[in-house]
Each structure stands twice: as structure tokens, then as C-alpha cells.
Amino acid sequence: MIIRCVRIISPQGEPTDAYPGVHVGGQYVVLETYSDAEVYYIRILGDSDESPGTLWNPSMFETVDPRIPTRWTMTLEDGRLRVAPSSWHRVGFWNDYFDRNPGAIADFEEGKAATLAESASL
């Protein structure tokens, strides 16, 4: 899935003309979507291309290419909906990633690479 930034909303929820990592008109590959009763975000590799990407308010973007990567799956549990590479769905994945667990890092890199490769062929 590829999206284009049409406006910038700061992490504090305020409209702004500029913010590090994204720019109006920039096109980005979506790495993950997440929503629950309180929050909805998308994870993209922004302008800095820094892993694991950054989280943004989806109202900042419009769809350029709606195709969902074939390695993505969807989970719904306790009111939380996540769509991402299947290996990222396991309980504790992001905690392990930020704790620098080698298995979680490998799962992230594999999911990211597959998503980017498939998006590049769109």
C-alpha cells in the first residue's frame, strides 16, 4: 500500500507546515496499520527511511495504491485491529524489537523487506 502526504499533523495533534520525517506530496510505503477504541495510526518509512519507521495520523494521507502486500495478515483481539506482516503479530513483538531481541529484529527486517520489495513492483 502506498500513500501520499496531503497535510501534516504533529504528534500533539496540531496542523503544522513541516515536521521531520514527512513532507506534503511525499509518497510512502505503509508498513503497518493499527487501531483500537482510542487511537488509529499507520507506520511508514518516512523521509529519513529510519527503521522501524514512524507512526502517523492516517488523516494526513491519501491512497496512491490500495493493494495490500501478500505477506500481511490482520488480527483482531480485545478491540485492537492490526494489519501488518504476519510475523509482527505475535504478543510482545514490538517490546522485543525495542529491547533489541535478535529474533524480533530479524522478523522486522524480513517483513519490511518483503513489503518494500512488493511495493516497488506495484
* pLDDT tens readout for residues 63-75: 999 999 999 999 9
Beta carbons of 45 and 75 less than 8 angstroms apart: no
* Beta-carbon contacts of residue 29 (< 8 Å; ≥ 6 apart): 1, 2, 44, 45, 115, 116, 119
Query: Domain locations in the chain?
Result: 2-120
**pLDDT for the residue numbered 13:** 87
**pLDDT tens readout for residues 28-71:** 999 999 999 899 999 998 888 788 989 999 999 999 999 999 99
pTM: 0.89
- Which pLDDT value is given to residue 57? 94
User: What pLDDT does 28 receive?
Assistant: 95
CA-CA-CA-CA torsion sign (24, 30, 32, 34): positive
